[in-house]
Copies of this chain bind each other. A is one copy, B any other.
């Protein structure tokens, strides 16, 4: 592990850093759990004042904050810490763009357990854990998801609402399948006062979505249908069916089964609206979308990040006339429209 990257001679530095990369996740998680970034934003900027404010030991705070400085989440001048620019925007709970809660899902015990069993999952070709069948509830996992992952969703949800022309205010019935925190449907409803949203997810998850719908003032146009996306009665005549981050949990057969159900629920000319990680045909680019397959190998029996060609084929098999792909500016996911 050379102290700096040497010209073109191979060094073990990157390999060593990867072997200990989990330390960075845990340090960020600890700092978020102790709300160090918010405490600094509120003016506690020394070891002593941070320890007092967070209830942690001075030695613990000193070592953690020095580490966060090494990793450029904090800046240290003399004995005083301040927030690096992205920490101030995304890790301080007073910032409207704060994403801190996401660590509770992305680095949850469930997620770490999935990845801890990765060798066995590669051998098996699917999650070696007992929670890989995502047709089953696993309520606590998805309630955690719904409680943690809403923040990063908002810009994407606003983009999706604009793609749907929500601000035009036309009468519009929207089914949100596997709604989670519900933000995709809720933001459509917020942008369009004539949109009615029906949300499907496990009952415990829909409680979170309903809370969010109430918070954003659309509860009177928000109804829920608790149950499995593969089994619950959807209703029919929808203008749009939102399918955000659902297909990657399933194998192609289950994806097509769900697509058939969505087709039946749409009015003629209605559209399935899919939000997904869609890797290129080479399956190794773009990086975030391509890397996502591993999350599905670790955590599901047979889920995957499917390519656009795979989605086109599956939607075609389910009766849709055509599927189009739409990148989202600055985000790693893409939107697909599939027309009935």
Identify the A interface with B (CB < 8 A): 1-3, 6, 10-12, 14-16, 18-30, 33-34, 55-64, 66-67, 69-73, 76, 85-91, 97, 99, 102-103, 106-107, 112, 115-116, 118-119, 121-126, 152, 282-288, 290-291, 293-298, 302, 304, 330-332
Pick the contact of A19 from B6, B23, B106, B125 — CB < 8 Å? B106
Q: Do B60 and A15 touch across chains, with their CB atoms under 8 A apart? A: no
- From DSSP, what is the main secondary structure of chain A's interface residues? helix
Assembled-state Cα–Cα distance A114/B331 (Å): 34
Assembled-state Cα–Cα distance A284/B68 (Å): 9
Q: Do B115 and A22 touch across chains, with their CB atoms under 8 A apart? A: yes
Q: Do A124 and B57 touch across chains, with their CB atoms under 8 A apart? A: yes
Q: A22-B22, A60-B123, A76-B284 are in contact. List 17 more A-B contacts (CB 8 A).
A: A1-B288, A2-B331, A3-B332, A12-B86, A12-B90, A12-B99, A18-B28, A19-B25, A20-B107, A21-B24, A30-B119, A30-B122, A34-B119, A60-B297, A69-B284, A70-B284, A112-B112
Q: Which residues of B contact A1 (CB under 8 A)?
A: 152, 288, 331-332
Q: Do A66 and B152 touch across chains, with their CB atoms under 8 A apart? A: no
